[in-house]
Chains A and B, each alone.
Chain A
Amino acid sequence: MGEHHEIVHFVIRLGSLNLSITNNVVMLWLAAGLTFLFLFGAARLVNVSGTGRLPNLVESLLEFVRENVVEAFIGHNGAKWLPFVATIFFFILFNNLLGLVPIPGYFHAVTSNLNVTAALAVVVFIVVQVVAVIHHGPMYYLNLLFPKTAPGWLRFSLMPLIEVIGTLARPFSLAIRLFANMTAGHQIIVVLLTGDLIGVSYLLKQGIGMKLLAALPFVGVVVMDGFEIFVAFIQAFIFALLTALYLGEAMEESH
């Protein structure tokens, strides 16, 4: 497997805690900075001149997030959750897209690291639990583990186990879905490129007719790169969608 080598810039160790500044950390800062500049820059431009190209782009993306993610799943309370969901969407989107920059050895998708996606999933999990407890009170866990809609014999024997597994499976699935999508895409590109290099080195040793075909093996990589852009958008959208779904579920009145 092609692991991304960690380049440590600046070592910070506190006992057994390793907080060194590595290239992963720099990539995360870069994505966070891009998200900040993208969104706040558009807001500043709208304040200054009323319209512009960047604000139009940001507004169309935010409208997409608001309509398809927040409104669809949270409904009436939705407006105050748009910043959180939109930040998650743009942060993951920029992290995914930064992995497509072809500077070798340094630029890679930080979201292809299970630690990063697990951290994001844990943040979402904690936020959802806190929101549920604030909205329903501590009775939330009672109603979750022993749901009123289950018949009595199931309600106290099997449902707690099912509900616990179901609730704990959500952050796991969020983390693994994003991690595996990013890793798999880049692995396919690596495998294709390795095969391409072997093929191209063979073709270049042949006559001039074969030499002209040497560019063809890279068409597959270009197509996969295009697909990776699509996957970057989809995965960011799905993560934000599921966040909004879990938040909506935590805040609903019934159940």
Chain B
Amino acid sequence: MAAEAAEAVVQTMSAAVPLAKLGAGLAVGLGTLGSGIGIGMIFGKSIESAARQPEALPLVQRLMFTGFALVEAQALYALLITFILLAVK
């Protein structure tokens, strides 16, 4: 009786699920590499240029936020693939 109850709770997964979960981890892990480097470069160069020429700060700040959002989107494309892969049954 306990075995039947246990069987009723166990769900079956297809053979692709372990690979999908591995892929999900790899996707977001590798995807954020490039985005991290990009964001670091954007902010580094913005700070450097603002330090060289403080009157350019408003322009630099605007371009900085623009660049940040565009680069972060790349990492989020990878996160989207992770979500898709996590939903594999």
Residues of A within 8 A of B (CB): 1, 68, 72, 173, 176-177, 179-181, 183-184, 234-235, 237-238, 241
B87 cross-chain contacts in A, Cβ below 8 A: 1
The reply to whether A180 and B80 form a contact with Cβ atoms under 8 Å apart is: yes
Given pairs A176-B73, A176-B80, 5 additional interface contacts (CB within 8 A):
A173-B77, A180-B73, A181-B76, A234-B65, A234-B68
Q: Is B39 an interface residue (CB 8 A)?
A: no
Measured CA separation A222–B43 after assembly (Å):
25
Interface of B is mostly: helix
B72 cross-chain contacts in A, Cβ below 8 A: 181
The reply to whether A238 and B70 form a contact with Cβ atoms under 8 Å apart is: yes
The reply to whether B86 and A176 form a contact with Cβ atoms under 8 Å apart is: no
The residue that B83 contacts in the complex, of A68, A183, A235, A238, with Cβ under 8 A, is: A183
Measured CA separation A239–B27 after assembly (Å):
25
Measured CA separation A49–B9 after assembly (Å):
68
Instruction: Please encode chain B, from 66 to 81, with 1 for each CB lying within 8 Å of some chain A CB and 0 for all others.
Output: 1011101100110110
The residue that A238 contacts in the complex, of B69, B77, B79, B80, with Cβ under 8 A, is: B69
Closest chain A residue to B70, Cβ basis: A238
B73 cross-chain contacts in A, Cβ below 8 A: 173, 176-177, 180-181
B66 cross-chain contacts in A, Cβ below 8 A: 238, 241
A176 cross-chain contacts in B, Cβ below 8 A: 73, 76-77, 80
Measured CA separation A177–B69 after assembly (Å):
9
CB within 8 Å of A: which B21-72 residues? 62, 65-66, 68-70, 72
The reply to whether A1 and B86 form a contact with Cβ atoms under 8 Å apart is: yes
The reply to whether B86 and A177 form a contact with Cβ atoms under 8 Å apart is: no
A241 cross-chain contacts in B, Cβ below 8 A: 66
B65 cross-chain contacts in A, Cβ below 8 A: 234, 237
Measured CA separation A179–B65 after assembly (Å):
18
A1 cross-chain contacts in B, Cβ below 8 A: 83, 86-87
Measured CA separation A72–B83 after assembly (Å):
36
The reply to whether B76 and A184 form a contact with Cβ atoms under 8 Å apart is: yes
Measured CA separation A238–B79 after assembly (Å):
19
B79 cross-chain contacts in A, Cβ below 8 A: 180, 184
The residue that A234 contacts in the complex, of B69, B76, B80, B86, with Cβ under 8 A, is: B69
